[in-house]
């Protein structure tokens, strides 16, 4: 298959959208210093997805997990050192977050084209945007100019929202980052693509809350499928089930239709239907894909601006895994 062109990349992609990749503070940030930036990133994401369709989902999640810990500063990419425990081995990330090699490959190409110019944090942000549009989702302009953090935080990474937490707790974690309930509902729509390991929802399948029965809020036929994928034994913990089994790799609004039909896989996803405000947004997005696409782009830009480093703060890493190189 040919690499993507402005026409083929996504129906929603319009020629000139690169113009939208503005700086966080002013004019287009890498326009002069790295004019091929968006092309290089898009090609890197496209070829990774050609190789592994799930990579679109993994790159989107990588961005979320970067932004929620120390801000969108590429901290998740840092390897552990003798003096710093990084984020990669935190509970929510270890054997779970994927895509590090894709970012490395894009960074290597960028170092050839414009050495020492583009931050790893901006690469992760652009990669998430391109992943969504290549999976059939919306396209949006990304403010650029993030700098890379000098440190990572394992303890903050261990505080990522968990699928076993209440909606109230999850919302509080979003609020602490300057986001709100609407952002929780909209950004959870990312679970329209990608997979979850059985251990992240297995407690719903056999003995929900000690009842000896499955979660009553789980559709019977989905329950049967999930029980087949994740039999009630320890060695099924790392097996994978799609988060949206209807359109597994397509970025669409079916995730919300699933929630309306009691077919959310994670308990934290289905929990959106237990709050009146959240449920009415879910119902709205389940009916109107346009509003989901539109609101998703707004919430993604909001998330991508959490705690960004600009000006003289941080650095531009040459190798995304190491500081001061």
**Binding-site residue ranges for substrate:** 161
Three state DSSP letters for the chain: CCCCCCCCCCCCCCCCHHHHCCECCECCCCCCCCCCHHHHHHHHHHHHHHHCCCHHHHHHHHHHHHHCCCCCCCHHHCCCCCCCCCCCCCCCCCCCCCCHHHHHHHHHHHHHHCCCCCCHHHHHHHHHHHHHHHCCCCCCCCCECCEECCCCCHHHHCCCCCCCCCHHHHHHHHHCCCCCHHHHHHHHHHHHCCEEEHHHCHHHCCCHHHCCCCCCCCCHHHHHHHHHHCCCCHHHCCCEEECCCCCCCCCCCHHHHHHHCCCCCCHHHHHHHHCHHHHHHHHHHHHCHHHHHHHHHHHHHHHHCCCCECCCCCECCCCCCCCCC
Contact pick of 161, 214, 264, 314 for ligand HEM (by CB under 6 A): 161
Sole window of 59-67, 83-91, 139-147, 223-231 interacting with ligand HEM (rule: CB under 6 A) = 59-67
Residue 63 falls in the annotated catalytic set = no
Sole window of 150-158, 162-170, 285-293, 312-320 interacting with ligand HEM (rule: CB under 6 A) = 162-170
Nearer to ligand HEM, 57 or 77 (CB): 57
Site string for ligand HEM, 250-269 (x = CB under 6 A): ----------------x-x-
CB of 105 to ligand HEM, least distance (A): 17
Asked whether position 292 contacts ligand HEM by CB under 6 A, the answer is: no
CB of 82 to ligand HEM, least distance (A): 28
CB of 116 to ligand HEM, least distance (A): 29
Asked whether position 190 contacts ligand HEM by CB under 6 A, the answer is: yes
CB of 135 to ligand HEM, least distance (A): 9
Contact pick of 48, 142, 144, 184 for ligand HEM (by CB under 6 A): 184
Contact pick of 98, 177, 239, 318 for ligand HEM (by CB under 6 A): 98
* 216 CB burial (10 A radius; 0-12, 13-18, 19+): exposed
* 169 Cβ contact list (under 8 Å, min separation 6): 161
CB of 242 to ligand HEM, least distance (A): 8
Sole window of 14-22, 32-40, 144-152, 161-169 interacting with ligand HEM (rule: CB under 6 A) = 161-169
State the binding site for Ca(2+): 66, 69, 71, 73, 75, 87, 192, 244, 247, 252
Asked whether position 107 contacts ligand HEM by CB under 6 A, the answer is: no
Q: Contact residues for ligand HEM (CB under 6 A)?
A: 54, 57-58, 60-61, 64, 96, 98, 161-163, 170, 184, 187-188, 190-191, 193-197, 200, 243, 266, 268
């Amino acid at each position: 298959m040919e690499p993507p062109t402005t026409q083929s990349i996504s129906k929603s992609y319009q020629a000139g959208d690169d113009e939208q990749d503005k700086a966080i503070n002013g004019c287009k940030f890498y326009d002069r210093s790295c004019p091929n930036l968006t092309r290089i990133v898009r090609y890197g994401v496209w070829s990774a997805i050609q190789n592994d369709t799930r990579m679109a989902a993994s790159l989107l999640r990588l961005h979320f997990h970067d932004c929620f810990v120390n801000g969108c500063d590429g901290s998740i990419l840092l390897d552990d050192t003798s003096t710093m425990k990084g984020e990669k081995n935190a509970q929510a990330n270890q054997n779970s977050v994927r895509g590090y090699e894709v970012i490395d490959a894009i960074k290597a190409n960028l170092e050839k084209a414009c050495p020492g110019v583009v931050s790893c944090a901006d690469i992760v942000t652009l990669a998430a945007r391109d992943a969504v549009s290549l999976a059939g989702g919306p396209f949006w302009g990304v403010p650029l100019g993030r700098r890379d953090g000098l440190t990572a935080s394992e303890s903050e990474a261990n505080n990522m929202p968990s699928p076993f937490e209440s909606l109230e707790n999850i919302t509080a974690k979003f609020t602490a980052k300057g986001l709100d309930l609407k952002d929780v509902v909209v950004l959870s729509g990312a679970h329209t693509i990608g997979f979850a390991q059985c251990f992240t929802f297995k407690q719903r399948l056999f003995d929900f809350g000690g009842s000896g029965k499955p979660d009553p809020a789980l559709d019977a036929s989905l329950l049967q499928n999930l029980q087949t994928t994740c039999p009630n034994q320890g060695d099924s913990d790392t097996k994978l089930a799609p988060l949206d089994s209807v359109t597994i790799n397509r970025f669409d609004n079916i995730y919300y239709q699933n929630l309306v039909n009691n077919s959310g896989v994670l308990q934290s996803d289905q929990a959106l239907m237990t709050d009146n405000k959240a449920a009415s947004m879910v119902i709205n997005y389940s009916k109107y894909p346009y509003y989901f696409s539109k609101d998703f782009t707004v919430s993604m830009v909001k998330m991508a601006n959490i705690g960004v480093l600009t000006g003289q703060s941080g650095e531009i890493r040459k190798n995304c895994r190491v500081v001061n190189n």
